[in-house]
């Protein structure tokens, strides 16, 4: 998943997806041209925009605190959390595995809405104090908006549809009753899709009754929730299929190794045009020094293919390209989700044992699902 890394907070990597920038602009525009001028007609244009920017920043700060609460509780239960991604309609804690129990799922899920409602109460109290102490109206307006949005965020996330927090609470209850994570995820996913379709239906009604902006927001959110519910269930099925499978069981050992001095022309003729692999390990003096594939070849003008060695254009290997044979196949798939990584090199004592690509992992998943394993 691509994005802009902001740094670390409480030990978690914080990243914003590019869609966040779009939604940030839309929120500021909506606040500066609709929400604040309507409630505070005394604000001039500059004040409305300034208040809109500050309020939008506090909104996304509130989303970050919401996700941090999930991550802290998950980590306290021993579930690894890689980081937090802020994207189009909120945020997501990037956990490396599913919760180990229904109890862990419940507490990890419920803390998010509780945090948002707590933030809402805090800003509501601060705004009330501001009114009593006669603070500047823009400051009171910001507190009022942030309180309202946190109350709405907490209430919305309590909706019983996976992957919303309320859906995760629902999954934990079903999981505790059935002792079946897959089945409980399936039912919670159905509930999530129902919530999403319901939001989209309300959005269409809003548009027809004269509320185009709010209607479009509801449709977009409903569409997102519906898709996320389906995807989350599919991820559980994939994790289940890969459970207990080591990289060594899935890796390929017949991918040709390309000497660094091989010309790009020879590499294309003898490998890219003859085999189905997307990229290949490149070696020099018996050591893997990089990987080369179509993207690297495209960077070389065709009239230089005969005189350019692949070692010059190979993507240098770092830790993100390497994996141990004993690691879980799910970890390999998670690493391969990065569009920059075409294949992982399975290494042991700095020696290449094999490679693993998305195709091999997906074939295994498809076969196991078809066999009902």
Helix (H, G, I), strand (E, B) or coil at 150: helix
Cis peptide bond upstream of 163, omega within 30: yes
**Active site (catalytic) residues:** 67
Residue entry with tokens 């390209």: 321
Comparing C-alpha atoms, which of 171, 155, 42 is closest to residue 102? 171
Residue 207 exposed, middle or buried by CB count within 10 Å (0-12, 13-18, 19+): middle
Confirm if 215 and 228 have CB atoms less than 8 A apart.
Answer: no
| Listed residue (174, 151, 146) closest to 161, CA to CA | 174
- Residue 346's beta-bridge partner residues? 323, 354
Task: Pick left, alpha or beta for residue 324 (phi over 0 → left; psi -120 to 50 → alpha; otherwise beta).
Answer: beta
- At 21 the three-state DSSP class reads helix
57 CA to centre of own chain: 20
Q: How far apart are CA 282 and CA 185, in angstroms?
A: 43
List residues bridging with 345 in a β-sheet.
322, 355
């Amino acid at each position: 998943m691509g994005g802009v890394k902001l740094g670390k907070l409480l030990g978690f990597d914080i990243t914003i997806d590019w869609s966040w920038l779009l939604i940030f602009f839309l929120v500021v525009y909506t606040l500066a041209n609709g929400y604040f001028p309507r409630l505070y007609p005394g604000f001039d244009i500059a004040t409305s925009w300034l208040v809109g920017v500050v309020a939008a920043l506090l909104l996304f700060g509130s989303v970050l605190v919401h996700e941090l609460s999930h991550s802290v509780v998950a980590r306290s239960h021993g579930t690894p959390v890689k980081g937090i991604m802020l994207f189009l309609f909120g945020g997501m804690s990037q956990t490396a595995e599913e919760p180990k129990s229904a109890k862990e799922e419940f507490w990890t899920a419920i803390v998010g809405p509780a945090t948002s409602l707590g933030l809402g109460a805090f800003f509501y109290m601060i705004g009330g104090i501001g009114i009593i102490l006669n603070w500047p109206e823009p400051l009171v307006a910001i507190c009022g908006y942030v309180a309202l949005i946190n109350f709405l965020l907490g209430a919305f996330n309590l909706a019983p549809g996976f992957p919303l927090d309320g859906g995760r609470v629902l999954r934990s209850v079903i999981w505790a009753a059935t002792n079946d994570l897959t089945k409980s995820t399936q039912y919670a996913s159905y509930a999530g899709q129902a919530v999403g379709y319901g939001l989209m239906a309300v959005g269409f009604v809003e548009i027809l009754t004269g509320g185009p902006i709010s209607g479009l927001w509801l449709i977009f959110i409903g569409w997102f929730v519906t898709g996320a519910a389906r995807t989350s269930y599919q991820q559980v099925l994939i994790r289940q299929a890969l459970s207990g499978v080591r990289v060594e069981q899935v890796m390929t050992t017949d991918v040709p190794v390309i000497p660094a001095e091989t010309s790009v022309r020879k590499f294309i003729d003898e490998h890219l045009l003859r085999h189905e692999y997307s990229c290949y390990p490149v070696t020099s003096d018996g050591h893997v020094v990089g990987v080369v594939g179509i993207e690297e070849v495209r960077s070389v003008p065709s009239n230089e293919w005969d005189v350019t060695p692949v070692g010059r254009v190979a993507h240098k290997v770092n830790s993100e390209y390497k994996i141990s044979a004993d690691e879980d196949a799910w970890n390999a798939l998670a690493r391969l989700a990065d569009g920059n990584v075409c294949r992982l090199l399975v290494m042991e004592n700095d020696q290449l044992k094999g490679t693993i690509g998305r195709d091999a992992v997906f074939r295994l998943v498809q076969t196991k699902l078809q066999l009902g394993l």
